Amino acid sequence: MTRQESRRAAFRLLFEYTFGGDPEEIMANAKEYRGETISGFARQLFTGTIANLQEIDSKISAFAEKRSFERIARVPLSCLRLASYELLYTETPTGIAVNEALDICREYNCDDSVSFVNGILGKVSEAANKE
């Protein structure tokens, strides 16, 4: 499984997590009922994002100046969470994390969310570089 495929798997898990549930159960169900392959990298992205969700959501909320956090749709929110985790907590190059998130957003959502996601990730990236 490529890193790109792992990111997409982690995105799908994060999307499912927005509906609630136990992370381990979500991964088990994805394997059992959808035949999802969960690589070590996908697991790391998913569990790492969940473990740092409070700080990640705080940053997203702060940078989504004109949009209330609660009004962010699940697809862009899952993209934002995944890429923010990579930007803040991993050594993934900024361009890769952002471009992958934008590609996923395009694949799973209307194109109108892409510019919103890109703007927020630009601010998250700046914050990550300052820390």
Q: What is the pLDDT of residues 71-120, one digit of tens each?
A: 999 999 999 999 999 999 999 999 999 999 999 999 987 677 899 999 99
Q: Check residue 89 and give its pLDDT.
A: 96
What is the DSSP code string of 24-89? Answer: HHHHHHHHHHH-----HHHHHHHHHHHHTHHHHHHHHHHH-TTS-GGGS-HHHHHHHHHHHHHHHH
Distance in angstroms (rounded) separating the CA atoms of residues 127 and 101 = 18
The residues spanned by each domain of the chain are 3-130
* CA-to-CA dists, residue 126 to 41, 63, 81, 131, angstroms: 24, 11, 16, 9
Q: Check residue 88 and give its pLDDT.
A: 96
Residue 24: count other Cβ atoms within 10 Å of its Cβ.
9
More confident residue, 57 or 111: 57
Residue 48 clears pLDDT 90, i.e. is over it: yes
Tokens 């930007």: give the residue.
87
Distance in angstroms (rounded) separating the CA atoms of residues 113 and 93 = 22
Residue 5 clears pLDDT 80, i.e. is over it: yes
In single-letter form, the type of residue at position 115 comes to S
CATH superfamily label, 3-130: NusB-like (1.10.940.10)
Residue 131 clears pLDDT 90, i.e. is over it: no
